[in-house]
Amino acid sequence: MKFKVRGIDTFASTGGRPFDKNKPLIIFVHGSGLSHMVWVLQTRYFAFRGYSVLAVDLPGHGLSSGESLKTIEEMGNWVGDVIGAVGCKEASLVGHSQGCLVTMECVAQHPEKIKTLTLMGGASAIPMNPELLKLAEESNPKAVDLMMDFAHGPAGHFGGHPVPGLYHLNVGSMIVQNKEIKDTLGVDFRACDNYKNGPEVAKKLDLPTLSILGAQDRMCRLKDGKILADYIKGSEVKIIEDCGHMMLLEEADQTLEILKKFIAEHYPLPS
Amino acid sequence: MDPKTYKFDTLSLHAGYQPGKNAGSRQVPIYQTTSYMFDDVDHAAALFNLERGGHIYSRMSNPTVQVLEERVCALEGGTAALATASGMSAIFLTIMTLCNAGDHMVVSSQLYGGTVNLFRLTLPKFGIKTTFVKPRDTEGFKKAIKPNTKGIFGELVGNPGNELMNMPEVSKIAKEAGIPLIIDSTYQTPYLCRPFEHGADLVVHSLTKWMSGNGSSMAGILVEGGTFDWMQNDKFPSMTEPYEGYHGLSFAEEFGPTAFTMMARAEGMRDMGPCLAPQNAWNILHGLETLSLRMEKHCSNALKMVEYLSNHESVAWVSHASAPGHPDKELAEKILPKGTGSMIAFGIKGGKEAGAAFINNVKLASHLANVGDARTLVIHPASATHSQMDEATLKFAGLSHDMIRLSVGLEDFEDIVNDFEDGFRAAKKPRLVANK
């Protein structure tokens, strides 16, 4: 659905159900250069089981208007504004990769609004390879090829998409190339590279938190994901074997099962 | 720093398959089953509602077929693919997903005869009309577009006359009009050309041909490039507006670069059901493993054959994009740098009667209605593959009665030549040489 955040047209997938502000809200936040389309194998499930779902396109991404936000702090604040913009008071957040930094910042800035936090493929810092960052800021498609290479585990490189007929690397690549690379991926990579508050923000988090990590993740390595989880008081950690950074697609079923249990326990539907 | 993603030959052997998830089986298993067990009621509901990936019923998808789909998709550089029972069903499914009654297509006139009949005779029954344009008439594609036109369709190298469509230029015309370009790339395979790199939005193949090369199995496929923005205009409401069949799902919003394939499967396979048998998918996968090796030999044998035929006293003309003086030679060198394929059309002196004698007297070359087999094949199109066309349509499609269509195989070149010499000898005096 389209709605306004700070006066700018914003798109969010509602998982195929009409948005209802009276149902518990789950907001999904995508990673660098991506869009709501990476969440299709999680959002539809919750939308058809009593939740209201928003898989947002960050400003300038996917089907949202405006320019990409330049810092993780701005993005975190923007996600907090989304909650009010759709007439809700609170939400659970699910972030992937850069979306983990964004959702942690959102909790830090709007602690009263956020009930649970799920971090997929996260780390407390995501420093960028200088060459990759330069390629992205120059809109060089090689940046996308490198990102897809790093983002998928060994199994993902062979294929085996959960949805019959889809090919992992090229789907991700086309989602990113839907927009000018420097205006989305380039800005996002720079924002990740500049962000240094991760450890401090993580240490202050005080809400039910789940980290889902890929054992073969080369973007945010398993050890870095574990360090982040260690910073967060009481964080649950689930590791998916033989899976890279794109666990939400590479191992969509396992990811959904883990998320279902966490949400059911910590953010249940009203009885 | 370069990406370490797998390259073409590796993908042709490995893409789409993980042995670790299939009992360690090195070869792709044949999942000869109609249906798949659900974990519970919730799991079943989620699968039916496209909430999660997986298999329900082999009309919609099958694990063996899925490997083929991903492999071809990877080789083409596409985002998604959908395998079908034949190449014709891939085309039909594509058009039925794209168009509604009252819509219009602009189509190259030089096509396989079955495809011509589909657009000329069958699709009008569903209210879908076509304007045919000669493949070299690039401007003609633009002129033929109407407000209700939903796409441009063509074979890059036309069957059987070997005229090339200027795909990069026609792609620009399609983009200006906000409609997709669909290319039947059967003749090329992704080894010779990846149409998405030249502006195509959707690609279809008959996998029965060079992709398998073994002549054992029928199969087709639709591949999506993920390049077309279905939401740029209001021409494609079935893609962009809520679809009643899946609780108001908007395919374009939800699936973006894979929206067309998702809809073709969810609606087309559900309602029309031209599914590919897993055994046939497995046979095609076997062929794909050697695609590069076979295409190299097909092309090198074809080049020698063009030279041999061009210098033969019994041959009136030769059409192949590599042939000296071919009007599309320059375009072919740009789009098809690895080779222009193994389909040759030539005119035999003596016309239809000589052509019949030639075909009846070759023994190594097989006389049959297929192309792209590992074996050399010949046919007289005007009396076989294109025989259901009237005289005017034959002429418009670039066919003549002296035309022989040759699909050059992988045999030793000298053996093919010796066989052809027997055919040409018989063709010189058709009434004096007994037919075999």
Range name among A135-144, A189-198, B116-125, B375-384 with the lowest pLDDT average: B375-384
What does pTM read for this prediction? Answer: 0.95
pLDDT per residue of chain B (436 residues) written in tens, 0 to 9: 888 999 999 999 999 999 999 999 999 999 999 999 999 999 999 999 999 999 999 999 999 999 999 999 999 999 999 999 999 999 999 999 999 999 999 999 999 989 999 999 999 999 999 999 999 999 999 999 999 999 999 999 998 888 999 999 999 999 999 999 999 999 999 999 999 999 999 999 999 999 999 999 999 999 999 999 999 999 999 999 999 888 889 999 999 999 999 999 999 999 999 999 999 999 999 999 999 999 999 999 999 999 999 999 999 999 999 998 899 999 999 999 999 999 999 999 998 889 989 999 999 999 998 999 999 999 988 777 767 777 777 777 778 888 999 999 999 999 999 999 999 999 987 555 444 4
- Residue B390 in tokens: 């009237």
- Asked whether B13 and B289 are in contact (CB, 8 A), the reply is yes
Give the separation between CA B410 and CA B354, rounded to whole angstroms: 26
pLDDT higher at B393 or A249: A249
Phi and psi at A7, nearest 5°, equal: 80, 0
Q: What is the pLDDT of residue B434?
A: 47
Helices (H), B290-350: 291-310, 329-335
pLDDT digits (tens, 9 = 90+) for A77-121: 999 999 999 999 999 999 999 999 999 999 999 999 999 999 999
From the list A16, A146, A165, the residue facing B70 with the nearest CB is A165
Q: What pLDDT is attached to residue A223?
A: 97
Overall average pLDDT of the A209-225 stretch: 97
Cβ <8 Å between B52 and A253: yes
What lies within 8 Å, CB to CB, of B229 at 6+ separation is none
Domains recognised in chain A with CATH numbers? 2-266 (3.40.50.1820)
Nearest to B52 among A63, A159, A162 (CB): A162
Say whether pLDDT at A254 is over 90.
yes
Question: Nearest C-alpha of chain B: how many angstroms from A232?
Answer: 30
Are B75 and B193 in contact, with CB atoms under 8 Å apart?
no
Length of chain B in terms of residues written: 436
Chain A residue with Cα closest to B2: A146
Instruction: Work out the pLDDT band at A142, boundaries 50, 70, 90.
Output: very high
Q: What angle do CA B333, B338, B339 make, to 5 degrees?
A: 70
Q: Do residues B320 and B340 make contact, with C-beta atoms less than 8 angstroms apart? A: yes
B323-328, long-range: CB < 8 A, 24+ apart: B326/B162, B327/B136, B327/B163, B328/B136, B328/B163, B328/B164
Beta-carbon contacts of B184 under 8 Å, excluding residues fewer than 6 positions away, are B87, B91, B111, B112, B115, B153, B154, B155, B156, B203, B204, B205, B206
- Are A159 and B46 a contacting pair at CB < 8 A? no
A142: chain B residues, CB-CB within 8 Å: 2-3
| Residue (of B268, B203, B208, B256) closest to B228 by Cα position | B256
Q: Are A158 and B265 in contact (CB < 8 Å)?
A: no
- Binned at pLDDT 50, 70 and 90, residue A157 comes out as very high
d(CA B404, CA B381): 7
Of A17, A40, A170, the CB nearest to B255: A40
For residue A30, give the amino acid letter: H
Task: Check residue B436 and give its pLDDT.
Answer: 45
Residue A154 has pLDDT above 80, yes or no: yes
Which residue on chain A is closest to B44 by alpha carbon? A45
Q: Which helix (H) or strand (E) holds A177?
A: helix A168-177
Query: Please, which residues 103-162 of chain A have a Cβ atom closer than 8 Å to chain B?
Result: 129, 131-132, 142, 145-146, 148-149, 155, 157-162
Q: Measure the CA–CA gap between B231 and B104, rounded to whole angstroms.
A: 19
B247: chain A residues, CB-CB within 8 Å: 16-17, 48
Question: How far is A243 from A247, CA to CA, in rounded Å?
Answer: 6
Which residue from B17, B69, B253 is facing A165, i.e. has the nearest CB?
Answer: B69
Q: A16 and B52 in contact by Cβ < 8 A?
A: no
Q: How far is residue B420's CA from residue B376's CA, in Å, rounded to a whole number?
A: 11
Cα B178 from Cα B152, distance rounded (Å): 11
Please check the confidence at residue A132 and state whether its pLDDT lies above 50. Answer: yes
Interchain CB distance below 8 Å, A160 and B256: no
Cβ proximity of B331 and B164 under 8 Å = yes
